[in-house]
Amino acid sequence: MTEGPTITTIAQRAGVSIASVSRVLNGLPTREDTVRRVMRAADELGYVPNSVARSLRNRRTDQVAFAMADIGNPVYVAMVREIQPMLKEAGYRLLIHSTDGDAEDELGVLRGLRERYVDGLIISPLRGVTEEHVRAIVAARAPVVVIGALPVGMPEGAPVDNVRTDSRTGVRLALDHLYAIGRRRIGFLNGPLDTVPGAARAAAYREALEALGLPYDEDLVEVGDFYRDSGARAARALLSRVPGLDALMCANDLIALGALDVLREHGRDVPGDVAVVGMDDTDLASVTWPTLTSVSLGSAERGRAAATLLLDRLQNGPREPRVTVVRPSLTVRGSTAVPGLPGTAGDGR
Amino acid sequence: MTEGPTITTIAQRAGVSIASVSRVLNGLPTREDTVRRVMRAADELGYVPNSVARSLRNRRTDQVAFAMADIGNPVYVAMVREIQPMLKEAGYRLLIHSTDGDAEDELGVLRGLRERYVDGLIISPLRGVTEEHVRAIVAARAPVVVIGALPVGMPEGAPVDNVRTDSRTGVRLALDHLYAIGRRRIGFLNGPLDTVPGAARAAAYREALEALGLPYDEDLVEVGDFYRDSGARAARALLSRVPGLDALMCANDLIALGALDVLREHGRDVPGDVAVVGMDDTDLASVTWPTLTSVSLGSAERGRAAATLLLDRLQNGPREPRVTVVRPSLTVRGSTAVPGLPGTAGDGR
DNA sequence: CATCCAGCCGTAAACGTTTACCGATCGCAC
DNA sequence: GTGCGATCGGTAAACGTTTACGGCTGGATG
């Protein structure tokens, strides 16, 4: 495998020094004649600069990583879709880490920052930012944007920005809506409580019920995973325990899919017998039958915000940490559509 | 921003040469005592090797790129889901290029190989592999796996493997099935003809009709894009032109989604009035209403196969090119389910 | 004609590793 | 006590760039 040409090869061919070659290729002021000779040699040799050598010298890799739990989750896909073009536009390549929600893996990514293979990182840690995460980030001294909750006690000067949504309000929006269409026995299918969204949504569910003057009933809550089959299992369990429930609040759209499967299986009409609300408002929500009312947590916006914050740091250097909050909103679709009631569509299901 | 420790720092602290440090860190045989001193110093300093310097020296980056048209397309997501863990397992990081189907962009990725920022590439070129693609691959001298069709005239010794599916057979499976359930006026919603899948599926549709003894009717064909809204537009056009059609063959699941939207909008029963078949058998297919019969082109398998081929080359060096063909299969679901007919399920819709 | 300055460009160092090569040291055998 | 071989570790080069520094050339100026 013949090695490609380097600036040394070009220098020889053009009869100049490697310094001149480099200057020409980087557009630094050079005599017209030299420029021509170098350009000609470079063209003839089909020269392409070695990005690794350049990175070593320049101390930047022009690469950015995005670490998330699972690239199969439409939420993260939506983020990547926003992040990738923005980074490309700014001249950065994008690395993907799918950590499977494994805390060790997440830490590995953060620690990996010290290997300096990327200039910055966007991370969405499922299990939350621990003491150790923080230490790793500080030690890395590379800009990091965390999508999700950040602990209160971030040390001064850590190069960390934060993008978050307000899932508390999100859950609140959903329950208010369910209440408004007359539902009172509202089940809750949650994800693991040791994840950030899981914990937040559990608390939010309780709070929202209280605000509505509804009793909190442990029997109405089922905890599983953030996947479709897990959602189905949870829904089955919940339905057999509380056959009379009239609504299901699901901690994400995948869980809601599972719930819809089970409701259909049991011959329950949605939303007639049971209304269903998902969260994340993924592409799936407009595809299901009936289409799924879902709380949008602004995945695309969060992706954009994260990329914006990171690029700003990369391009303009250190500054005080920033936080961007994305407001949730409710998209009402068929799974809660009750004819004749305000704010709902009678068809569209 | 204090710079991190390098092997030089360690060497000083441990009172040895950088060569010894490197040897210890790489596990080469060294005196017990030296090992301890170096390890101790490295630990105390929290040393992490600089991956860029290592790459420069070793002439490998431990990075692999995957280039596809659109990370939003579930087909590619399915591939990434398989590719990422396999690469991680083998110690490679994954770079993502979403080229938006732009031929220039694709070429840019291939040319970028010469910058040596990755050790290998998996690419799924929407517009097909042109002369120029081939030149870029040969010039790169880095292993490439192409998912999709490869031109016949690949030059000897180009380090290219190929993974393909047989969409001809795929379309055939779908049309045979539609014929079997009694459909005779089968519309076809295709993607752009200047894409590889688009062209292949157009030809396959014609062929399959012929094999079934059905006439080819241009009026039954609509060409758009591989997206949902485009599918909807195409379906609308087709329905108004040929109101009597009894089946729709869609060139991918997204198009099928659009078609289902329009059929519902027009009050046509699926599959009663119109049966619908998609292609790619994405996650979406089991979510729609009715669930979507779809031709699986084995996205996950193709991803796995591509990763396998690439890793083999990376780990075992040059060898003759290989081709892996993934067989399509038909997954029958609600959108073609006709009660009482063999091979179809009466419920499940 | 001497001096100065500007403009070019070449030499060399640096980025942080890995590794070929060789010299030093030690133990052992004679 | 000498010599030999094995073992260990240090020096230096190499990977392919960028860039500080200084030397050379030429023209302009006094």
What string of DSSP letters covers B28-45? ----HHHHHHHHHHHHHH
| Residue of B155 and A58 predicted with greater confidence | A58
Chain A nearest-CA residue for B318? A1
The arithmetic mean of pLDDT across residues B212-217, rounded, is 96
Write down the pLDDT at residue B340.
Answer: 58
Cβ partners under 8 Å of residue A250, min gap 6: A189, A231, A256, A259, A276, A277, A278, A279
Least confident of A74-78, A151-155, B201-205, B314-318: A151-155
Contacts of A288 in chain B (CB under 8 A): 287-289
Confidence band of B64 (pLDDT split at 50, 70, 90): very high
d(CA A157, CA B52): 26
The arithmetic mean of pLDDT across residues B233-237, rounded, is 98
Segments of chain A assigned to CATH 3.40.50.2300:
61-166+299-328, 167-297+331-336
Burial environment of residue B319 by CB neighbours within 10 A (0 to 12, 13 to 18, 19 or more): exposed
d(CA B241, CA B221): 10
Q: Which residue has the tokens 């999508």?
A: A147
Nearest chain B Cα distance for residue A174, angstroms: 22
CA A71 to chain CA mean position, Å: 9
Taking CA atoms, A48 is separated from A6, A45, A81, A231, B113, in Å, by 8, 9, 29, 51, 9
With a pLDDT cut of 70, the percent of chain B lying above it is 96
In terms of DSSP H, where are the helices of chain A?
7-14, 18-25, 32-45, 51-58, 74-89, 103-112, 131-140, 167-180, 196-212, 228-241, 253-265, 299-316
Residue pair B38/B24 in contact by the 8 Å Cβ criterion:
yes
Segments of chain A assigned to CATH 1.10.260.40:
7-49
| Residue of B5 and B140 predicted with greater confidence | B5
Contacts of B115 in chain A (CB under 8 A): 48-51
Q: Which residues of chain A have pLDDT under 50?
A: 1, 342-349
Q: Which of A124, A139, A109 is nearest to A75 (CA)?
A: A124
Cβ partners under 8 Å of residue B102, min gap 6: none
Q: Is the pLDDT of residue B163 over 80?
A: yes
The arithmetic mean of pLDDT across residues B184-199, rounded, is 95
The arithmetic mean of pLDDT across residues B6-27, rounded, is 95
From B52, B80, B139, residue closest to A61, measured CB to CB: B52
Q: Parallel, antiparallel, or unpaired: how do β-strands B93-98 and B247-250 relate?
A: unpaired
Q: Is the pLDDT of residue B348 over 80?
A: no
Q: Which residues of A touch B (CB under 8 A)?
A: 1-2, 4, 46, 48-53, 55-56, 61, 63, 71-72, 77-78, 80-81, 84-85, 93-98, 111, 114-117, 139, 141, 257, 283-284, 287-290, 318
From A4, A46, A84, residue closest to B98, measured CB to CB: A84
- Cβ of A20 near strand C (under 7 Å)? The reply is yes
CATH of domain B7-49: 1.10.260.40
What fold, for A167-297+331-336? Rossmann fold (3.40.50)
Write down the pLDDT at residue B349.
Answer: 45
CA A106 to chain CA mean position, Å: 14
d(CA A12, CA A15): 5
Pick out residues whose CB falls under 7 Å from strand D.
Answer: A 3, 6-8, 18-19, 21-23, 25-26, 47, 49-50, 53-54, 56-58; B 16-20, 29-31, 33-34, 53, 56-57, 59
Write down the pLDDT at residue A345.
Answer: 45
CATH of domain A61-166+299-328: 3.40.50.2300
Cβ partners under 8 Å of residue A113, min gap 6: A121, A136, A137, A140, A142, A144
Under DSSP, is residue A162 helix (H, G, I), strand (E, B) or coil?
strand
Give exposure, A164-175, as e/b (b: 16+ Cβ within 10 Å).
bbbbbbbbbbbb
Q: Output the distance from A58 CA to C10 C1' rounded to whole Å.
A: 22
d(CA A275, CA A262): 13
Residue pair A210/A216 in contact by the 8 Å Cβ criterion:
yes
Cβ partners under 8 Å of residue A304, min gap 6: A82, A83, A86
Write down the pLDDT at residue B339.
Answer: 67
